[in-house]
Amino acid sequence: MSEWLPLLMFLMVGLVLLAGYPVALSLGGTALLFALAGEAGGVFDGALLHALPNRLFGVMTNETLLAVPLFIFMGVMLERSRVAESLLDTMAALFGGLRGGLGISVVVVGMLLAASTGIVGATVVTMGLLSLPTMIKRGYDPALACGTICASGTLGQIIPPSIILILLGDVLSAAYQQAQLKMGNYSPEPLSVGDLFAGALFPGLLLVLLYIAWLLLVAWFKPQAMPPQPVELRAGRGSLWRDVLTVLAPPLLLILAVLGSILAGLATPTEAASVGASGAMLLALWRRELTLAVLQEVMRTTTRVTSMVFLIFIGASLFSLVFRGFGGDLLVEGLLSDLPGGAFGAMLLVMGVMFLLGFILDFIEITFVVVPIVAPILLAMGLDPVWLGVMIAINLQTSFLTPPFGFALFYLRGVAPAEVTTLQIYRGVVPFILIQLLALGALALWPELATWLPRQLYTP
């Protein structure tokens, strides 16, 4: 019976979360209860908990994780400087003459916001507040409008510099070293966040192109669902191209400075994140949106979100420590190794479990709790770490879109007008879920979509 205690821990955490308790406290509290019960029953060595301070000190001294608060600051500052509103207005004017032009504008702006902020919840809420009422007013099918906004908002999961890719890169780096040592390679190749950024670039752009292609198909075969913007709304704007350059150039330069410096090897993610945070402040100052009150609000939001991330990290560290103390890593390894199909069967099971966990856990909890357990086993089977990281990111992105529990759907439901029904939101995301699955299948068949660019950039 004791060998199944690790899986019982997972079940207990799920029940506690469903009861409404905070994630970090649920993870840490469940782990402590099981550790005390296990020590009383003689199946757990309480001395293992002495390793927790060393783990937390490792988190505190991890320079890669410094990029997290800096990128959060960058995203919140750009949100407060109303960059999204200007981008949506300008892109709508640029593409408004096309059928589906407003929808294409939402996808393009979602891509730019994803590369600027990397925070899914903020992007979905911002896009929902700014574009959903306009799309409905212009005659767009409500379900299609909702699906476009949800799908575009979740691009922050996969398009770098994404917070999930930073966290995944740090966790996968440790898992890859662990797997290499287990395979007898005592000088393992390092895996960096930059590798994961480069690997996610083409799959992310592929998703954007597939979204736009779908919208163009709908505009062609069902034009009444996506009418063009009326001419009178596009007239009298002065020089449109001047507006496009004025609005697009600053965020694009910021994205190129941040992402380009990482991919070119000129800066680490932490250094690039500091450039992004400084650039976001300069952009807000240039737009006359930076005041002391705005700066204080951005700092408070950044502190709150960063504290939430690292508190979950502490709870997850305690949970994984107790999980391994019960032999949970050996149990999972045995389960995955005995599956038919070898690495393919194990990967399929892990992707399915992560997809379902995405209904009740955020990507931070999945990254800190599940990935450290399963990634060393999968990587020891010969899977490429960059490909594995991108597959996990797209899989979680799909999970966050899927009814009835997808996080993106909840975010949009919270800001959608009253006349938009929950069923319309659910119906609207179905085509985009199929597109996500198509991209996931393409990546599974052609891993080079994720692995080619990192090899070209970083292989001597």
Q: Could you read off the pLDDT of 421-432 as tens digits, one per residue?
A: 889 989 999 999
Residues 6+ apart with CB under 8 A from 208: 107, 108, 111, 155, 159
Take residue 275 and report the two structure tokens written for it: 């450039």
Query: Could you give the CA distance from residue 132 to residue 78 in angstroms, rounded to a whole number?
Result: 20
Instruction: Give residue 328's pLDDT band: very low, low, confident or very high (50, 70, 90).
Output: confident
Residue-level pLDDT at 2: 61
Question: Can you tell me the mean pLDDT for 355-363?
Answer: 79
Asked if the structure places residue 6 within a domain, the reply is no
Take residue 250 and report the two structure tokens written for it: 């600053």
Asked if the structure places residue 339 within a domain, the reply is no
- pLDDT tens digits, 99-155: 778 888 889 888 888 776 666 666 787 788 888 888 888 888 999 999 999 998 888
Residue-level pLDDT at 235: 46
Lowest mean pLDDT among 93-102, 166-175, 244-253, 286-295: 93-102
Report the candidate in 304, 394, 396, 321 with the shortest Cα–Cα distance to residue 356: 396
DSSP state at residue 21: -
Q: How many residues in total does the chain contain?
A: 460
Question: Can you tell me the mean pLDDT for 344-367?
Answer: 84
- pLDDT tens digits, 39-78: 888 888 878 888 888 878 877 787 778 888 888 888 888 8
Report the candidate in 396, 386, 380 with the shortest Cα–Cα distance to residue 343: 380
Take residue 304 and report the two structure tokens written for it: 């709150």
Is residue 404 classed as helix, strand or coil in its secondary structure?
coil
Q: What is the pTM of this model?
A: 0.84
Asked if the structure places residue 323 within a domain, the reply is no
- pLDDT tens digits, 179-204: 888 777 777 777 888 889 999 999 99
Query: Could you give the CA distance from residue 145 to residue 135 in angstroms, rounded to a whole number?
Result: 7
Asked if the structure places residue 50 within a domain, the reply is no
- pLDDT tens digits, 8-46: 888 888 788 778 778 778 888 888 898 888 888 888 887
Instruction: Give residue 232's pLDDT band: very low, low, confident or very high (50, 70, 90).
Output: low
Residues 6+ apart with CB under 8 A from 212: 104, 107
Question: Can you tell me the mean pLDDT for 234-262?
Answer: 75
Asked if the structure places residue 408 within a domain, the reply is yes
Asked if the structure places residue 350 within a domain, the reply is no
Instruction: Give residue 250's pLDDT band: very low, low, confident or very high (50, 70, 90).
Output: confident
Asked if the structure places residue 55 within a domain, the reply is no
HSE-CB for 178 with a 13 A CA cutoff:
16
Instruction: Give residue 239's pLDDT band: very low, low, confident or very high (50, 70, 90).
Output: low
Take residue 257 and report the two structure tokens written for it: 């400075």
Question: Can you tell me the mean pLDDT for 255-269?
Answer: 84
C-alpha torsion 187→191→192→195, nearest 10:
130
Determine the structural domain holding residue 274 and report its residue range.
66-306+404-458
Contact 149, 132 (CB under 8 A): yes
pLDDT, mean over the chain: 84
Take residue 423 and report the two structure tokens written for it: 């069923």
Total domains in the fold of the chain: 1
Query: Could you give the CA distance from residue 295 to residue 292 in angstroms, rounded to a whole number?
Result: 5
In the predicted structure, residue 210 carries a pLDDT above the cut 90: yes
Take residue 384 and report the two structure tokens written for it: 């490429």
Return the top range by mean pLDDT from 41-45, 230-234, 382-386. 382-386
DSSP state at residue 137: H
Asked if the structure places residue 242 within a domain, the reply is yes
Question: Can you tell me the mean pLDDT for 351-370?
Answer: 82
DSSP state at residue 367: I
